[in-house]
Structure 1
Amino acid sequence: MNISEKNFNKIFNIFLILIASTMIFRKPCTWIIIGFVLFNLCFIKKIKLSRLAVLLGLVIASPLLLEILFFWNNDSLREGLKSLEKSISLLFLPLFILGNYQRVQFNKLLQYYSYATTVIVLFFFIRFIVVYPGLMNKYLNGIDLWEMGYSFSNSVGIHAPALNMHLAFVAIINMYFVVYSFRKKENLGYQFLRILLFALSFFYVLFVNTRMALFNVIVGTIIIFFYEVIRNYDFKKVVLSLSFGVVILGGILFLFVKNNPYMQEKYSTVTFAYMDKVGKLDEIENPEAKVFNSFVTRVSIWKSAWELSLDHLPFGVGASDGKPELFKYYKQTNQHFLAKYEFPTHNQFLDFLLKFGVLGPLIVFLYIFTIGYLGYDLKNGIVISFFFLFFTSNLTDDFLLRFDGIAFSGFWFSVFGSFWLQVKATTCKE
């Protein structure tokens, strides 16, 4: 097949924008990834993989390679293949993105992705108001505020922590473009639009209301501020920019918390309640109401996963058997609350330790911290913010179990790697 370089580049980048913007919708995004793979297979000769690209590709594919290496440890062939299928994007995304690294338009991709996702979520928020007026009335009247974020996420078709991880990254990118707009002295219309998009994306994070996402937006904003303001402006402009950022973030946060008293409760008494009941949640009267989202539940899960992992060193229980074995352990240790709701590990390092033994957490460390290295070497606030976001999110959840974590990280890891390769290529030419 013949195609001009201009048209190939255009189609290639459109695919990247579509994949990024539909990442929160598993089925549409899966089909777009399949289309992206088929498109690149038709022009396989255009792929050029340097040694650095191959090395990066192997790191990105390392969770998949680990599953292949330990495939023999699965009790069920069918479940093992099913688990393997979830990670297959970690092979194709780096192959075709890093193989065409020079074609990736990094800033344009970030801009189109953040704006498209913000508008898409706005559509679903308006739909939520129209389709679920009863829930919105409860929300506006301060009733059952704890369920609102999860109800909205379910209406979109994604788990709340996963949705908010995506939204946190979008909010961080939108903040970057607010700073970019003022640094480039764009006209007032552009500046207002960028501020509005950031305000919307930050509101979404507050509405879904997961603790790690809010924490990561605040940290990400500080990182963007450091890399894009402190390093580029004099003291007076830094103070003015800081004041402006505090007003935007503080204003939105104040208005939201003022109208959402549950948020104060959730981030104080609910989070750290009953810490003396680690591993003994059934001693709490009505644990569903009191500790379902509390830190003590996470720690109880981690304690069980750690104990079970130690019993199955050095190779773990197998990729397909992590959850079943953990649920079985809850029952064996008479932890009926955890068994009833079948809580997964909620920690990616522990999850891989349980599944793959001692090699598991080392692979997670390599996978996540290589992103951090790319950000540090590039001195890029967005890449470092993504690293921090994905690292902390996987301390309290296990996103390399799910499409919305596997494809999300594999895609952006490949994009960051492409940007890094572009910079390296430019530096070598100079």
Structure 2
Amino acid sequence: MNISEKNFNKIFNGFLFFIAIAMIFRKPCTWLIILFAVFNLFFLKKLKFTQTSLLLGAVIASPLLLEILLFWNNNSYLMGIKSIEKSISLLIFPLFILGNFQRIKFFKLTQLYSFFTTSIILFFFIRFTVIAPDLMNKYLNGIDLWEMGYEFSNSIGIHAPALNMHLSFVAIINLYFVFNAFRERKGFLIKIVNFTIFGLSFFFVLFVNTRMALFNMLIGFVLVFFYQVIRKYNFKKGIGIAAVGLVLLGSIFLLFVQKNPYMKEKYTAATFAYMDKIGKLDAIENPEIKVFNSFVTRVSIWKSAWELSLKNLPFGVGASDGKPELDNYYKQTNQHFLAKYEFPTHNQFLDFLLKYGILGPIVVFLYIFTIGYLGFRVKNAIIIAFFFIFFTSNLTDDFLLRFDGIAFSGLWFSIFGSYWLQEKITAGKEELVF
């Protein structure tokens, strides 16, 4: 098939854009990934690799490679194949994105992604106010505020922590381009648009209101401020910009907390209640109401996962058997509350330790921290913030089990790797080998 380089580049980057903004919608995104793979299969001759890109591709694909390596350990080979199927994007993305790394338009792609994702969420927010007026009325009157983020996320078809992981990343990118607009002295209208989009994305993270996402977003803001202001402006100007930013963000945050009194309880008493009941949640009266989303429940799950993992070293219980074995362990240890709701590990390091044994957490560490390495090497706040988001999110959840974590991280990991490789080529530190 013949196609000009210009048209190939447009189609290739167009696929990345649509896959990125469709990431919160599993089925459409899955079809886009399949079409992306099929498109690239027609143009295999365009793939160009370096020794470094091949090594980086192996790191990105490492969770999938680990599943294949220990496939024999599954009790059900059919379930093992289904587990591998979920991770196949970790082969598609590094192969075709790193193989075309010179074509990636990193800053244009991230800006378009953050702008259109914010616009899509705005559409669904307006839709939510129309289809769920009773919930919105309760929210505005401070009633059952804990359920709002989960109900909104469910209306889109995604789990609230996963949605907010995406949204915190989007808010950080939007802030990056707000600072960028001022630094490059863009027109007044562009500055207003950038700031409006940022404000909306900031609000959406507060609205969905998951703890880790809010924390990660604020840390991301600090990283963007450091890399975009402190490192590029003199001290006096940097302090001035920081003061204005703190006043604006602080005012929005305080206003939101004032209108959302449950937020105070959620981030203090509710989160750390009953810490003396670790592993003994059934001793709490009505644990569904009092500790369903509390830290003590997470720690109780981790304790069980750790104990079960130690019994199944060195190779774990198998990819297909991690959750069933953990559910059985809850029953064996008379933890009826955990058994009733069949809680997953809620920690990616422990999940991989349980499934794959000693190699599991090593692969998770390599996968996540290589993203951080790329960010620090190119000194880019967006990449470093993504690393921090994905690392901390996987301490309290297990996003390498689900599409919205596997494909999301695999896509952006490959894009970040492409940008890093471009920088190495430009600096004369890397050459194409085939």
TM category (shorter chain) comes to: over 0.9
Give the Cα separation in 1 of the matches to 2:191 and 2:247. 16
Q: CA deviation at 1:142?
A: 0.9
Secondary structure, counterpart of 1:75 in structure 2? coil
Deviation of 1:77 after TM superposition, in Å, equals 1.3
The secondary structure found in structure 1 opposite 2:52 is helix
User: For residue 319 of structure 2, what is the aligned residue in structure 1?
Assistant: 319
* Cα deviation digits, residues 322-362 of structure 1 (max 9, x gap): 00000110011111111111110000000000000000000
1:408 aligned partner, one-letter code: F
1:31 matched to 2:50? The reply is: no
CA distance, structure 2, for counterparts of residue 176 and residue 344 of structure 1: 35
CA–CA separation in structure 2 for the residues paired with 1:196 and 1:340:
45
SS of alignment partner, residue 428 of structure 1: coil
SS at match of 1:370: helix
Q: Sequence identity, in percent?
A: 73
| 1:276 matched to 2:280 | no
The offset of 1:248, in angstroms, is 2.5
Partner of 1:14 in structure 2?
Answer: 14
Equivalent-residue separation in structure 1 for 2:2 and 2:244 (angstroms): 51
Following superposition, the deviation at residue 212 of structure 1 comes to 0.4
Query: What pairs with 1:11-90 in structure 2 (closer than 5 Å)?
Result: 11-90=11-90
AA of the residue aligned to 1:411 = L
Say if 2:216 is the partner of 1:216. yes
Q: How does 1:3-402 map to 2 (within 5 A)?
A: 3-402=3-402
Superposition deviation, residue 56 in structure 1? 0.5
Superimposed CA distance per residue, residues 240-259 of structure 1 (whole angstroms, 9 cap, x where no aligned partner): 21012212321221121111
Provide the rounded CA distance (Å) in 1 between the counterparts of 2:153 and 2:317.
Answer: 32
TM-score, length basis structure 2: 0.98
Give me the whole-angstrom Cα distance separating, in 2, the residues matched to 1:31 and 1:261: 42
d(CA) in 2 for partners of 1:51, 1:115: 35
Distance 2:8 2:247 in 1: 44
Cα distance in structure 1, aligned partners of 2:32 and 2:318: 30
One-letter amino acid matched to 1:112: L
Deviation at 1:429, TM superposition (A): 7.5
Task: Quote the Cα distance in structure 2 between the aligned partners of 1:191 and 1:240.
Answer: 18
Which residues of structure 1 form unaligned runs of 5+? none
Letter in 2 for 1:293: N
Q: Please report how far the alpha carbon of residue 123 of structure 1 lies from its aligned counterpart in structure 2 after TM superposition.
A: 0.5
Match of 2:409 in 1: 409
Give, in whole Å, the separation in 1 of the partners of 2:248 and 2:174: 13
1:304-337 CA-partner distances (Å, limit 9, x unpaired): 0000000000000000100000011001111111
Q: Distance in 1 between matches of 2:69 and 2:112?
A: 38
Distance 2:243 2:207 in 1: 24
Please give the TM-score of this superposition, normalised by the length of structure 1: 0.99
Aligned partners of 1:342 and 1:391: how far apart in 2?
24
Tell me how far apart the structure 2 counterparts of residues 280 and 31 of structure 1 sit (CA, whole Å). 44
Relative to structure 1, is the Cα distance of residues 340 and 166 closer, same or farther in structure 2, using a 3 angstrom cutoff?
Answer: same
Measured against aligned partners, the alpha-carbon deviations of 1:166-212 in whole angstroms (never above 9, x if no partner) come to: 00000000010011011011122111111111111011111111000
Deviation at 1:239, TM superposition (A): 1.1
Distance in 1 (alpha carbons) for counterparts of 2:58 and 2:113: 26
| Equivalent-residue separation in structure 2 for 1:328 and 1:171 (angstroms) | 40
CA–CA distance in structure 1, aligned partners of residues 93 and 15 of structure 2: 11
- Segments of structure 2 that go 5 or more residues without pairing to the other structure are none
AA partner of residue 36 (structure 1): F
1:185 partner SS = coil
Q: Residue 199 of structure 1 contacts residue 252 of structure 1 at CA under 8 Å; is this kept in 2?
A: no
Deviations 1:101-132 (A, max 9, x none): 00000000000000010000000011110001
- Note if contact 1:93-1:410 (Cα within 8 Å) is conserved in structure 2: yes
Q: Deviations over 1:39-80 (max 9, x none)?
A: 111111100111111000000000000000010011111111
Task: Give SS of 1:265's match.
Answer: helix
